[in-house]
Amino acid sequence: MSLIEVDTSKCQRDRICAQECPGKLIIFPQKDSYPTTIEQAGEFCIDCGHCIAVCPHGALKLKGLGPEKLEAVNHQLLPSPSQVRHFLTSRRSTRTFKKKVVSRQQIEELIDIARYAPSGSNKQQVHWLVIEGQDKVQHLAGMVADWMCMMLQHSQDEAMNRRYARVVEAWDQGVDRILRRAPSVIIAHAPADVFGVATDCVISLTYLELAAYSQGLGTCWAGFLTTAATYYPPLQEALELPAGHLPYGALMLGYPVYQYQRIPQRQPARVIWS
């Protein structure tokens, strides 16, 4: 099967597909020809689907997949700029969670949305580990506390040690500043030998965080967990990630107890216009 198939009864030869193809794999050999691909197109196509998605006439198939199989963009459903601004600026980290666990169905929906996050060369190599239930989450938090105790004995970083000492002290007193007694934690992991996957994981988690906020859920990035999982073998073993995978980010997830009433101030943007 050729990479693209063109329905010549629909194609208007407007060259939009060629303009939008990231690898410039679609060409129009002559002025009045229909689109075709360069010889090595199969090797370089990243399967982004832009050619099918952008064609106003629904004239293209990519690898046998036609426009009728793709969900149409509903422009009426898109939020306004002011809605987007308010949505993004009013998102806050949640650190007090209800005990109620977010359903597997809802987490699946969040992960499904996060699949649409951009990824370098459309690699889509982000994998997910969902820790369900406060007991399991607390077990992991305890391991992070153990790692912090170890760091306190060996690290010369005074500022970090003072911070970790407070977190461990709180943990010993039954206050979880590590995973905030969240009912779930979601970890994004990926094969460490694939270029750029750390960024892909973080962008996907960001999508997931924003989708969660839109559904009335609360999240908080679990930086202590991610750092410990990067450096502490017992925690890595407990996570049982596939061989060669590293965790590149994690979010606590649950129902927030409190609603934020105001948007806190942030520093002015540091921009150089050049």
Ligand X SMILES: Cc1cc2nc3c(=O)[nH]c(=O)nc-3n(C[C@H](O)[C@H](O)[C@H](O)COP(=O)(O)O)c2cc1C
Under the criterion CB under 6 A, does residue 253 sit at the interface with ligand X? no
Residue 231 touching ligand X (CB under 6 A): no
Question: Is the dihedral angle over the CA atoms 58, 60, 64, 65 positive or is it negative?
Answer: negative
Choice from 221, 236, 238, 255 touching ligand X (CB under 6 A): 221
Is the CB of residue 161 less than 8 Å from the CB of residue 151?
yes
Residue 210 in the binding site for ligand X (CB under 6 A): no
C-beta of 167: minimal distance to ligand X in Å?
A: 9
Instruction: Report the alpha-carbon distance of residue 22 to residue 45 in Å, rounded.
Output: 9
Least CB distance to ligand X at residue 2 (A):
44
The residue nearest ligand X at its CB is: 223
Q: Return the range that interacts with ligand X (CB under 6 A); candidates 38-46, 91-99, 149-157, 238-246.
A: 91-99
The residue among 111 and 176 lying less far from ligand X, judged by its C-beta, is: 176
Listed in order, strand segments (DSSP E) in 117-215 are 127-132, 184-191
Long-range CB contacts (within 8 A, 24+) of 42-46? 42/3, 45/3, 46/22, 46/121, 46/122
Separation CA 12–CA 58 (nearest Å): 10
Q: Which is nearer to ligand X, 51 or 211 (CB)?
A: 211
d(CA 223, CA 226): 5
Q: Which is nearer to ligand X, 105 or 265 (CB)?
A: 265
Question: C-beta of 175: minimal distance to ligand X in Å?
Answer: 12
**Tokens 């293209």 sit on residue:** 60
In the complex, the smallest distance separating the C-beta of residue 93 from ligand X, rounded to whole angstroms, is: 4
CA pair distance 161, 176, nearest whole angstrom? 17
Find the binder of ligand X among 118, 223, 234, 244 (CB under 6 A).
223
Q: Select the residue interacting with ligand X from 63, 92, 98, 123 (CB under 6 A).
A: 92
Query: Of 47 and 157, which CB lies nearer to ligand X in the complex structure?
Result: 157
Angle at 185 between CA 149 and CA 209, to 5 degrees: 120
Q: Please report whether residue 224 would count as binding ligand X according to CB under 6 A.
A: yes
Q: How far apart are CA 217 and CA 257, in angstroms?
A: 10
Return the residues of window 113-172 that contact ligand X according to CB under 6 A. Answer: none
Nearest Cα residue to 188 out of 109, 139, 246: 246
**Residue 166 CB, nearest approach to ligand X (Å):** 12
How many residues bind to ligand X according to rule CB under 6 A?
A: 8
Under the binding rule (CB under 6 A), the answer on residue 220 touching ligand X is yes
Binding site for ligand X (CB under 6 A): 92-93, 95, 220-224
